[in-house]
Amino acid sequence: MPPEPLTPERILEATEDVLRRFGPAKATVVDVARALGVSHGSVYRHFGSKAALREAVTDRWLDQSHTELSAVADSEGPAAPRLRAWLTALFAAKRRKAGDDPELFATYMVLAGENSGTVERHIATMIGQIAGIVESGVRRGEFAPVADPSATARAVWDATNRFHDPAYAAEWGQEGIEAAFGTVCDLVLRGLSTSP
Protein backbone atom coordinates (compact mmCIF):
# COMPACT_ATOMS: atom_id res chain seq x y z
CA MET A 1 0.00 0.00 0.00
CA PRO A 2 1.50 3.38 -0.98
CA PRO A 3 2.15 5.89 1.84
CA GLU A 4 -0.56 8.39 2.64
CA PRO A 5 0.08 11.64 0.73
CA LEU A 6 1.55 14.48 2.72
CA THR A 7 -1.10 17.18 2.96
CA PRO A 8 -1.24 20.42 4.94
CA GLU A 9 -3.98 18.88 7.12
CA ARG A 10 -1.80 15.87 8.00
CA ILE A 11 1.08 18.20 8.83
CA LEU A 12 -1.15 20.33 11.07
CA GLU A 13 -2.46 17.25 12.89
CA ALA A 14 1.09 16.01 13.45
CA THR A 15 2.18 19.47 14.59
CA GLU A 16 -0.61 19.52 17.15
CA ASP A 17 0.56 16.13 18.48
CA VAL A 18 4.17 17.31 18.62
CA LEU A 19 3.16 20.49 20.43
CA ARG A 20 1.16 18.46 22.93
CA ARG A 21 4.14 16.17 23.54
CA PHE A 22 7.00 18.69 23.64
CA GLY A 23 5.36 22.08 24.25
CA PRO A 24 5.82 25.20 22.14
CA ALA A 25 9.33 25.97 23.42
CA LYS A 26 10.82 22.61 22.39
CA ALA A 27 8.72 21.47 19.40
CA THR A 28 10.57 21.77 16.09
CA VAL A 29 9.79 21.24 12.42
CA VAL A 30 12.20 18.29 12.52
CA ASP A 31 10.02 16.74 15.26
CA VAL A 32 6.95 17.19 13.06
CA ALA A 33 8.72 15.66 10.05
CA ARG A 34 9.91 12.73 12.17
CA ALA A 35 6.35 12.11 13.40
CA LEU A 36 5.20 12.00 9.77
CA GLY A 37 8.12 9.89 8.55
CA VAL A 38 9.25 12.52 6.06
CA SER A 39 12.12 14.98 5.73
CA HIS A 40 11.77 18.43 7.25
CA GLY A 41 12.13 19.80 3.70
CA SER A 42 8.83 18.09 2.84
CA VAL A 43 7.13 19.99 5.64
CA TYR A 44 8.74 23.26 4.46
CA ARG A 45 7.28 22.70 0.98
CA HIS A 46 3.84 23.16 2.53
CA PHE A 47 4.76 25.72 5.20
CA GLY A 48 7.67 27.99 4.35
CA SER A 49 8.89 28.48 7.91
CA LYS A 50 8.42 27.31 11.47
CA ALA A 51 6.54 30.56 12.15
CA ALA A 52 4.17 29.88 9.22
CA LEU A 53 3.50 26.37 10.52
CA ARG A 54 2.80 27.63 14.03
CA GLU A 55 0.51 30.34 12.65
CA ALA A 56 -1.40 27.76 10.59
CA VAL A 57 -1.87 25.53 13.65
CA THR A 58 -3.15 28.50 15.65
CA ASP A 59 -5.48 29.48 12.82
CA ARG A 60 -6.82 25.91 12.59
CA TRP A 61 -7.43 25.79 16.33
CA LEU A 62 -9.31 29.09 16.37
CA ASP A 63 -11.31 28.21 13.24
CA GLN A 64 -12.71 25.06 14.86
CA SER A 65 -15.33 27.16 16.64
CA HIS A 66 -16.29 29.20 13.55
CA THR A 67 -18.37 26.47 11.89
CA GLU A 68 -20.57 25.73 14.90
CA LEU A 69 -21.03 29.41 15.66
CA SER A 70 -21.76 30.25 12.00
CA ALA A 71 -24.57 27.69 12.02
CA VAL A 72 -26.11 29.38 15.06
CA ALA A 73 -25.65 32.90 13.65
CA ASP A 74 -27.14 31.94 10.28
CA SER A 75 -30.08 29.96 11.64
CA GLU A 76 -33.67 31.14 11.32
CA GLY A 77 -35.76 32.52 14.14
CA PRO A 78 -35.82 35.42 16.56
CA ALA A 79 -32.55 37.25 17.12
CA ALA A 80 -32.52 37.28 20.94
CA PRO A 81 -32.59 33.47 21.35
CA ARG A 82 -30.03 33.15 18.53
CA LEU A 83 -27.68 35.61 20.20
CA ARG A 84 -28.05 33.81 23.53
CA ALA A 85 -27.45 30.46 21.79
CA TRP A 86 -24.39 31.89 20.01
CA LEU A 87 -22.89 33.25 23.23
CA THR A 88 -23.66 29.96 25.00
CA ALA A 89 -22.02 27.93 22.21
CA LEU A 90 -18.93 30.17 22.32
CA PHE A 91 -18.63 29.83 26.10
CA ALA A 92 -19.11 26.05 25.90
CA ALA A 93 -16.48 25.72 23.15
CA LYS A 94 -13.95 27.77 25.11
CA ARG A 95 -14.61 25.77 28.28
CA ARG A 96 -14.17 22.50 26.38
CA LYS A 97 -10.87 23.63 24.92
CA ALA A 98 -9.56 24.75 28.30
CA GLY A 99 -10.89 21.79 30.27
CA ASP A 100 -10.44 18.82 27.94
CA ASP A 101 -6.72 19.29 27.34
CA PRO A 102 -5.25 21.98 29.64
CA GLU A 103 -1.68 21.40 28.42
CA LEU A 104 -2.66 21.88 24.79
CA PHE A 105 -4.78 24.89 25.74
CA ALA A 106 -1.73 26.45 27.44
CA THR A 107 0.33 25.70 24.34
CA TYR A 108 -2.19 27.42 22.14
CA MET A 109 -2.18 30.46 24.38
CA VAL A 110 1.56 30.75 23.73
CA LEU A 111 1.00 30.34 19.98
CA ALA A 112 -1.85 32.86 19.98
CA GLY A 113 0.50 35.36 21.64
CA GLU A 114 2.96 34.83 18.79
CA ASN A 115 0.29 35.22 16.11
CA SER A 116 -1.67 38.33 16.98
CA GLY A 117 -2.82 38.75 13.37
CA THR A 118 -4.46 35.33 13.47
CA VAL A 119 -6.19 36.20 16.74
CA GLU A 120 -7.36 39.55 15.34
CA ARG A 121 -8.87 37.78 12.29
CA HIS A 122 -10.60 35.30 14.60
CA ILE A 123 -12.08 38.09 16.72
CA ALA A 124 -13.18 39.97 13.58
CA THR A 125 -14.99 36.82 12.39
CA MET A 126 -16.70 36.42 15.75
CA ILE A 127 -17.76 40.07 15.88
CA GLY A 128 -19.03 39.78 12.30
CA GLN A 129 -21.27 36.90 13.32
CA ILE A 130 -22.66 38.88 16.25
CA ALA A 131 -23.21 41.88 13.95
CA GLY A 132 -25.25 39.68 11.60
CA ILE A 133 -27.51 38.63 14.46
CA VAL A 134 -27.86 42.26 15.63
CA GLU A 135 -28.71 43.42 12.10
CA SER A 136 -31.39 40.75 11.73
CA GLY A 137 -32.85 41.68 15.13
CA VAL A 138 -33.03 45.35 14.14
CA ARG A 139 -34.57 44.46 10.75
CA ARG A 140 -37.25 42.34 12.42
CA GLY A 141 -37.99 45.03 15.01
CA GLU A 142 -36.80 42.85 17.92
CA PHE A 143 -33.78 45.01 18.70
CA ALA A 144 -33.71 48.78 18.95
CA PRO A 145 -32.17 50.53 15.92
CA VAL A 146 -28.40 50.98 16.16
CA ALA A 147 -26.21 53.35 14.16
CA ASP A 148 -23.43 50.78 13.66
CA PRO A 149 -24.17 47.06 14.08
CA SER A 150 -20.43 46.27 14.08
CA ALA A 151 -19.80 48.68 16.96
CA THR A 152 -22.75 47.17 18.84
CA ALA A 153 -21.40 43.68 18.15
CA ARG A 154 -18.01 44.74 19.49
CA ALA A 155 -19.73 46.02 22.65
CA VAL A 156 -21.48 42.64 23.06
CA TRP A 157 -18.11 40.91 22.58
CA ASP A 158 -16.48 43.14 25.18
CA ALA A 159 -19.37 42.79 27.65
CA THR A 160 -19.12 38.98 27.53
CA ASN A 161 -15.31 38.90 27.61
CA ARG A 162 -15.16 37.02 30.91
CA PHE A 163 -16.80 34.04 29.23
CA HIS A 164 -14.58 33.69 26.16
CA ASP A 165 -11.23 35.40 26.78
CA PRO A 166 -8.65 32.74 27.74
CA ALA A 167 -7.31 35.11 30.41
CA TYR A 168 -10.38 34.11 32.45
CA ALA A 169 -10.11 30.34 31.82
CA ALA A 170 -9.35 29.63 35.49
CA GLU A 171 -12.80 31.02 36.40
CA TRP A 172 -14.77 28.91 33.90
CA GLY A 173 -15.07 25.95 36.24
CA GLN A 174 -15.94 27.93 39.35
CA GLU A 175 -19.23 27.59 41.14
CA GLY A 176 -21.70 30.24 40.05
CA ILE A 177 -20.14 30.85 36.63
CA GLU A 178 -23.28 29.65 34.80
CA ALA A 179 -25.46 32.05 36.79
CA ALA A 180 -23.02 34.90 36.12
CA PHE A 181 -23.07 34.07 32.42
CA GLY A 182 -26.88 34.04 32.39
CA THR A 183 -27.02 37.40 34.14
CA VAL A 184 -24.66 39.01 31.62
CA CYS A 185 -26.65 37.53 28.69
CA ASP A 186 -29.89 38.85 30.18
CA LEU A 187 -28.35 42.32 30.58
CA VAL A 188 -27.01 42.37 27.01
CA LEU A 189 -30.33 41.22 25.55
CA ARG A 190 -32.34 43.76 27.60
CA GLY A 191 -30.00 46.47 26.31
CA LEU A 192 -30.64 45.47 22.71
CA SER A 193 -34.38 44.89 23.04
CA THR A 194 -37.07 47.27 21.83
CA SER A 195 -39.19 46.31 24.86
CA PRO A 196 -38.80 48.37 28.03
29-60 pLDDT per residue, tens: 999 999 999 998 999 999 998 888 888 888 88
196 has a pLDDT exceeding 70 = no
pLDDT of residue 186: 97
Q: Which of the listed ranges 7-11, 65-69, 110-114, 177-181 does the model predict with the highest average pLDDT?
A: 177-181
- pLDDT of 126 > 90? The answer is yes
Where residue 70 falls among pLDDT bands split at 50, 70, 90? very high
CA distance 64 to 125: 12
96: helix, strand or coil: helix
> Are residues 42 and 68 in contact, defined by beta-carbon separation less than 8 angstroms?
no
Task: Return the number of other C-beta atoms located less than 10 Å from residue 28's C-beta.
Answer: 12
* Residue 140: partners with Cβ closer than 8 Å, 6 or more residues away: 78, 79
User: Confidence band (pLDDT; 50, 70, 90) for 1?
Assistant: low
Portion of the chain with pLDDT greater than 90, in percent: 58
pTM (predicted TM-score): 0.83
Distance CA 170, CA 58 (A): 21
Among candidates 65, 64, 66, 97, which has minimal Cα distance to 172? 97
Q: List pLDDT tens digits, range 71-118.
A: 999 999 999 999 999 999 999 988 988 877 777 777 777 777 776 787
